[in-house]
A and B are shown apart, each in its own frame.
Chain A
Amino acid sequence: MGFFVETLIGGLMAGMLYSLVALGFVLIFKASGVFNFAQGAMVLFAALAMARFSEWANIVLGGDSLFLANLIAFLGAGVVMFIVAWIIERLVLRNLVNQEGATLLMATLGIAYVLEGVGQTIFGGQIYTIDVGMPKDPVIMFESLFEGGIMINKEDFIAALIAAVLVGVLTLFFQKTPTGRALRAVADDHQAAQSIGIPLNRTWVIVWCVAGIVALVAGIIWGSKLGVQFSLATVALRALPVVILGGLTSVPGAIIGGLIIGVGEKLSEVYLGPYVGGGIEIWFAYALALVFLLFRPQGLFGEKIINRV
């Protein structure tokens, strides 16, 4: 029983980390109707900027204050992500207003390749470290209840808390602020939003910028866990089943989807894996998402698809 609970908790915390990446997908889709395939590349780009700025700031500061170096690096990486958002809007999105969804999707594929290449060219292709002081050792709890206790990974726990706070802030932003409402209006209909005076270009810069900041937070957490390297771009693949399951337009959906996928893949690997040779967690997440698609194509919390004739 103790092991089951431990696996469950491990899955929930892994799920929260997937949600962080999934949030980027949801934000951009919600506000612009674009399925942003470049989200993983943005995570890598942001993490590379953070890691290298932190390294350089640390050298300039003489290694005196890691906190200050990280703060400078965070602000620097934030500015970089703003510039990236602005460039994407100027060079790509502005020219694709009112185009088909598939066209925009292909454009984001191109953005992904450019970001991966340019990121590694500017910041280097080696393994870099982000040290934000995350604790690496586990803590064992409930030893009196379960034999051997329940192991909690402190790093994952803190990361899950950060993700939860970020989700809360973003939900408030979308529901309660005029900018958030403008973003939702743009998502519904570009032309209608423009006709009532919502500046489309500025809105897109804002949403890509917010997605960039989310990518930066995800990049810091994942980078701190895995080291900053090309594989960070592949964590987006872990978030795809999450958005399929949770729905592309729902922030809470990204969270619930993440938790279901996280728990589902860990339990499947541990309990079903041994019967089929193991290594099943990646495809199991997609299989789970596909099953959901059969019954709810819009995902758990996505907006219902209504086709009028």
Chain B
Amino acid sequence: MKFRSLALAAAIASVGLSAAVVSPSAHAQAKEQFFPVLVYRTGAYGPNGTPWANGYVDYLKLVNAKGGINGVKISFEECEFAYATDRGVECYERLKGKGATVFQPLSTGVTFALTEKAPVDKIPLVTAGYGRSESQNGAVFDWNFPLLGTYWVGADVAIQHLGKQYGGLDKLKGKKIALVYHDSPYGKEPIPLLQERAKMHGFTLQLLPVAHPGVEQKATWLQIRRERPDNVLLWGWGVMNSTSLKEAQATGYPREKMLGIWWAGAEPDVKDVGMGAKGYSAITLQHGAEPNSKVVKDMLAMVHAKGQGTGPKDEVGSVLYMRGLISAMVAVEGVRKAQERYGKGKVMTGEQTRWGLENLNLDDKALADLGFAGVLRPIQTSCTDHMGSPWARIHTWDGAKWNFSSDWYQADQKVLRPMVMSASTRYAEEKKITPRTPEQCKQ
């Protein structure tokens, strides 16, 4: 009897204790906008994932330092998944119940896995510069937001740029272009658009997959030496990029003829190669390294100067740091926009944030106010366009730093739109989704 009483008392005490422990976090959830942060600071892709994560988290800190989103402070929690799709999904499952505002997995594989979960859990999936290209069509992909650009935008701009270098797209006829790509959903994403463009302009497309993580590419580059393509498009990630550049040097392939996607155009990709990568160019997701931008100056003054910076100070403003920072900014602005409709100074749900992301309108003035003047072009989303901006430019590595080397390119909607519509319609049929009508879009 005595034992039962003791056990009962212990049980009551533990329930009380756990309530006391849980309460503050539940309380915090009610007052704070919670951002789950899926990161990979470890593993084969850690050197690229870390600056992105630092930029993302730093921006959330900067918003808090400026008073939050109309007074609503941001809370966040990192979950390390080492770029492994299964672990990424695990992180999603763990964090979604904590009042997640948006998820940004920085992995096309995880994006594919979460695309069917997001509508069920009603949490938007922001994939700035990656993910499924057809998810631009928000009428089918209500919860996906490939903001700022998809891989089809990247591939389209790549072909436009090569065409311009040869004196016109018609001059691509008879040319040979090789795509060296990461053998994963990410690397395969540009293939349909490149095949479409190859048909349109009469160039030959050679596909050369590289197995994860991409440290062994000798056979790939021997094939390039044999085929001697006029240009090589590099669609790599992490160590694969620097290995490609080193193999290009080792096989004597001119780096000036190589063009990478934005995930193959950051400092970790070329720093180790140094002068060996001189002349190599990459498409940018609008921005490059932006050490002189206002947002970077604010970051240094309001976060790093107070000892609250997440990573090293000299990383602030680098390409991938900026990518993380911009990814956080668009999510925060989605919340701010949602507050305009659902109540300023209130915590937004995933569903409300989805509306905000779908009605983003960041014009030049808004971007300048946020400190992004000269970094980004205006972003305007809608029900049928969850991307918001189809622009990109090229930057080139001079052996020590990236410099912009082209004017702006706009992805050709005459090429992109039919592909987006066709692929998204196919997806809708397969998954039995009824696309939203224009009337439903207005709601």
List the interface of chain A (C-beta within 8 A of B): 3, 6-7, 10-11, 14, 120, 125-129, 136-138, 140, 151, 153, 155-156, 225-227, 229-231, 234-235, 238, 265-266, 269-270, 273, 277-279, 281-282
Contact = CB atoms under 8 A, between A and B. Distances in A.
Interface in B181-203: 183
B41 to A, nearest CB: 7
B177 to A, nearest CB: 16
Interface of B: 41-44, 46-47, 50, 183, 207-211, 213, 215-216, 218-220, 222-223, 225-226, 238-239, 242-243, 246, 249-252, 268, 271-272, 274, 276
Given A229-B239, A231-B239, A279-B210, A273 B268 contact: no
Given A226-B246, A230-B43, A129 B218 contact: no
6 contacts: A14-B216, A125-B42, A127-B242, A129-B274, A138-B250, A151-B225
A281 B250 contact: no
A283 to B, nearest CB: 8
Contacts of A140: 252
Contacts of B47: 125-127, 229-230
B441 to A, nearest CB: 40
Contacts of B225: 6, 151
Contact of A279 (B46, B183, B250, B251): B183
Nearest to B240: A231
B246 A278 contact: no
A155 B218 CA distance: 13
Contacts of A269: 219-220
Which of A14, A125, A136, A278 gathers most chain B CB within 10 Å?
A278
Given A127-B268, A127-B272, A270 B223 contact: yes
Majority DSSP secondary structure for residues of A touching B: helix
B101 to A, nearest CB: 28
Contacts of A127: 47, 239, 242, 268, 271-272
B267 to A, nearest CB: 9
Contacts of A7: 219, 222
> Which 3 residue pairs spanning A and B have beta carbons closest together?
A269-B219, A279-B209, A227-B272
B222 A136 contact: no
A153 B245 CA distance: 14
Nearest to B250: A153
A135 B1 CA distance: 82
A231 B251 CA distance: 22
Given A125-B50, A269-B219, A278 B207 contact: yes
Given A137-B249, A235-B215, A226 B242 contact: yes
Contacts of A6: 222, 225
B102 to A, nearest CB: 27
Given A129-B272, A278-B208, A281-B216, 10 more contacts: A3-B226, A14-B218, A136-B249, A136-B276, A138-B250, A226-B215, A227-B239, A270-B222, A279-B211, A282-B216
B251 A281 contact: no
Contacts of A229: 44, 46-47, 239
Nearest to B183: A279
Contacts of B211: 279, 281-282
Contacts of B219: 7, 10, 265-266, 269-270, 273, 281
A158 to B, nearest CB: 12
B250 A136 contact: yes
A125 B41 contact: yes
Nearest to A10: B218
B249 A234 contact: no
Contacts of A153: 250-251
A10 B222 contact: yes
A137 B250 contact: yes
A126 B50 CA distance: 9
Contact of A277 (B50, B209, B218): B209
B251 A151 contact: yes
Contacts of A136: 246, 249-250, 276
B46 A230 contact: yes
A266 B272 contact: no
A95 to B, nearest CB: 28
A173 B211 CA distance: 38
A230 B252 contact: no
Contact of B239 (A126, A151, A156, A226): A226
Contacts of B223: 270
A21 B268 CA distance: 25
A266 B223 CA distance: 10
A129 to B, nearest CB: 5
A126 B223 CA distance: 31
Contacts of A279: 183, 209-211
Given A127-B47, A129-B272, A226-B246, A266 B215 contact: no
Contact of A278 (B209, B238, B252): B209
A280 B360 CA distance: 44
A155 B211 CA distance: 23
Contacts of A234: 44, 213, 215
Which of A11, A153, A155, A269 gathers most chain B CB within 10 Å?
A269
Nearest to A222: B215
Contacts of A137: 249-250, 252
A136 B274 CA distance: 12
Nearest to B312: A126
A86 B222 CA distance: 43
Contacts of A266: 218-219, 222
Which of B219, B223, B249 gathers most chain A CB within 10 Å?
B219
A229 B272 CA distance: 11
